Each structure stands twice: as structure tokens, then as C-alpha cells.
């Protein structure tokens, strides 16, 4: 309880701090991956594929990629062939606009749309081992490539919504995402470093979770942390936030599957 009160006191203090970069965000020259805020031991885990626990999901994803499923009896490989060639660079562009849905979808949603439309199979549940595995597999094919959101005018209003949500104070602590990740990065909260919040490695393995998790899981966790009601998985608000975060991180390298504390 004392620790909780201390964290709450720090967060409340941050809520009234003068913003460092509220309107302009973080200058490109100052942007840093969450990797740079980690200790050397955690960095070593991410850098070594034989130690990175997220690679277990990537391996599971390889099996799922080649497994036929649904009434159509098709596998991902039947349409996209070898994942290393067919999916190179794909994750760096998501979320992307889906014309049939008339809205942007993130990579998890794209996988489930393909599963429903082309395999005629039941979509995977959010945060399921299978969905995380396929997302991690596709994401890993873009490792080292720059995040490159598509220049699609249909996405403009959704990106604006995501930016507004990033800047919007909410919850009992009256905090916005920007209060931590734009205004107070490189400071500490209850002993842990405050990062810039760049979504460059999802799905990622978090030591606090002891498992792999999606960006939407992390966003919901942050929203709950400021004592606001999290949006449900797949909500348009979460996808809009994802869109803005990828715009905010444009040019930074993809790290999937990243490892974080």
C-alpha cells in the first residue's frame, strides 16, 4: 500500500508539471527506443535469439503458418508462400486501412480477417498463444527495418484521433500518455525508467508479464494504471492510438519480438 501511494503521488505530481514537449512531441534527434532504457542484462536477452523468450512464439508461428485450417483447408503459406520473403517489411506498415471494413486494422486484426475471409476459420482470441505467435512471426520478418507508416489519406482522420487520445488527460489521476512519454521521459517512476513509449517491438515479452503480449494489452494496462476504464480489445480507439504511435516512431527500427522489464 505504501508503494502504491508513492506511485500515485509521483503520477499526481507529473500531472501538474509544466510540459516539456506537449505540442511538438519528441524531436527526431532525441528519439530513443525503450531498449536504450534497459539494463545490460535485459538488453542481452533481447539481442540473443537463443535467450529471447519471444522467439518461442515465433517458432510456434512458423508451424501455424504452414498448417491448413478452416473450411477452405488453406494455410497462410498457400497464399503468401515463404514467410521470410512474403512478409518482409509488412509489419513496418501496420496498422493499415482495410477497404472492406472501411477502417484501419492492426496486424492482429489483419491476421484474423485473413483467417475468416480466406481460410473460413474462426478468428483467434485476443492475446491467445496462436494470435500472438503469428503476429510475432510476421513482425520478426521486419526486424531492423524502419517503421514506415503508409501515406494513405484515408488514415488521416484516424491518426488525428489517435494523437488526440495520446494528449487527452483521463482517469482519476488526470494524466495523458504525453505526460509520461513526451514530458517526463528519462525520469524514474517508483525506481523504473520512464521511456518515450515508442511501440517498436510488439508483440513483446515483458518480464513483469512473464509472457508475450500485444501493444493493445500494454495500452490497456497503461490506461488502467491512470485509473481510467480501458477500452475493450479491438476498439477503434486502441487502433487509432496504435496508428499515432507508429507515426510517432516512424523511421525507428522494428525490434519484434522485443524484451522489456
Collect all residues with Cβ–Cβ distance below 8 Å to 104 and sequence separation of at least 6: 95, 96, 97, 98, 155, 158, 239, 240, 243
- Beta-bridge partner residues of 206: 211, 260
Is 1 or 116 the better-scoring residue by pLDDT?
116
- pLDDT mean over 74-87: 96
Question: Model confidence over 104-159: pLDDT tens digits?
Answer: 999 999 999 999 999 999 999 999 999 999 999 999 999 999 999 999 999 999 99
Q: Is the pLDDT of residue 12 over 90?
A: no
Q: What is the pLDDT of residue 257?
A: 98
Q: What is the pLDDT of residue 189?
A: 86
180 catalytically annotated: no
Question: Model confidence over 151-187: pLDDT tens digits?
Answer: 999 999 999 999 999 999 999 999 999 999 999 999 9
Q: Is 181 in a helix, a strand, or coil?
A: helix
Which pLDDT band holds residue 16 (cuts at 50, 70, 90)? very low
Question: Model confidence over 203-237: pLDDT tens digits?
Answer: 999 999 999 999 999 999 999 999 999 999 999 99
Specify the length of the chain in residues: 261
- Which DSSP helix (H) or strand (E) runs through 260? strand 259-260
Q: What is the pTM of this model?
A: 0.90
Report all structural domains of the chain as residue ranges with CATH numbers, in order of start.
Answer: 30-48+151-260 (1.10.760.10), 54-140 (1.10.760.10)
Q: What is the pLDDT of residue 24?
A: 53
Question: Model confidence over 19-60: pLDDT tens digits?
Answer: 444 345 799 999 999 999 999 999 999 999 999 999 999 999
Among the listed residues 76, 177, 180, 222, the single catalytic one is 222
- Using CA atoms, how far apart are residues 27 and 21, in angstroms rounded to an integer? 9
Contact (Cβ atoms closer than 8 angstroms) between residue 200 and residue 147: yes
The alpha carbon of residue 259 and the mean position of all alpha carbons in its chain are separated, in whole angstroms, by 12
Q: What is the pLDDT of residue 137?
A: 98
Collect all residues with Cβ–Cβ distance below 8 Å to 145 and sequence separation of at least 6: 88, 89, 92, 253, 254
- Using CA atoms, how far apart are residues 219 and 215, in angstroms rounded to an integer? 6
Amino acid at each position: 500500500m505504501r508503494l502504491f501511494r508513492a506511485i500515485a503521488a509521483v503520477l499526481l505530481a507529473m500531472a501538474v508539471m509544466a510540459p516539456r514537449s506537449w505540442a511538438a512531441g519528441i524531436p527526431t534527434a532525441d528519439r530513443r527506443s525503450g531498449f536504450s532504457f534497459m539494463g545490460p542484462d535485459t538488453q542481452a536477452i533481447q539481442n540473443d535469439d537463443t535467450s529471447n523468450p519471444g522467439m518461442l512464439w515465433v517458432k510456434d508461428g512458423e508451424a501455424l503458418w504452414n498448417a491448413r485450417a478452416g473450411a477452405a483447408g488453406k494455410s497462410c503459406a498457400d497464399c503468401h508462400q515463404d514467410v521470410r520473403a512474403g512478409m518482409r517489411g509488412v509489419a513496418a506498415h501496420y496498422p493499415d486501412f482495410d477497404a472492406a471494413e472501411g477502417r484501419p486494422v492492426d496486424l492482429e486484426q489483419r491476421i484474423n480477417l485473413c483467417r475468416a475471409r480466406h481460410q473460413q476459420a474462426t478468428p483467434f482470441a485476443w492475446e491467445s498463444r496462436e494470435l500472438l505467435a503469428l503476429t510475432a512471426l510476421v513482425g520478426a520478418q521486419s526486424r531492423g527495418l524502419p517503421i514506415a507508416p503508409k501515406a494513405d489519406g484515408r488514415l488521416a482522420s484516424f491518426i488525428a484521433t489517435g494523437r488526440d487520445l495520446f494528449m487527452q488527460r483521463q482517469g482519476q489521476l488526470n494524466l495523458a500518455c504525453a505526460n509520461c512519454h513526451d514530458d517526463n521521459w528519462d525520469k524514474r517512476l517508483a525506481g523504473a525508467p520512464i521511456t518515450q513509449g515508442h511501440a517498436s517491438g510488439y508483440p513483446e515479452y515483458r518480464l513483469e508479464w512473464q509472457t508475450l503480449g500485444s501493444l493493445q494489452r500494454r495500452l490497456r494496462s497503461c490506461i488502467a494504471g491512470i485509473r481510467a476504464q480501458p477500452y475493450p480489445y479491438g476498439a477503434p480507439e486502441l487502433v487509432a492510438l496504435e496508428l499515432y504511435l507508429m507515426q510517432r516512431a516512424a523511421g525507428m527500427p522494428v525490434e519484434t519480438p522485443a524484451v522489456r522489464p
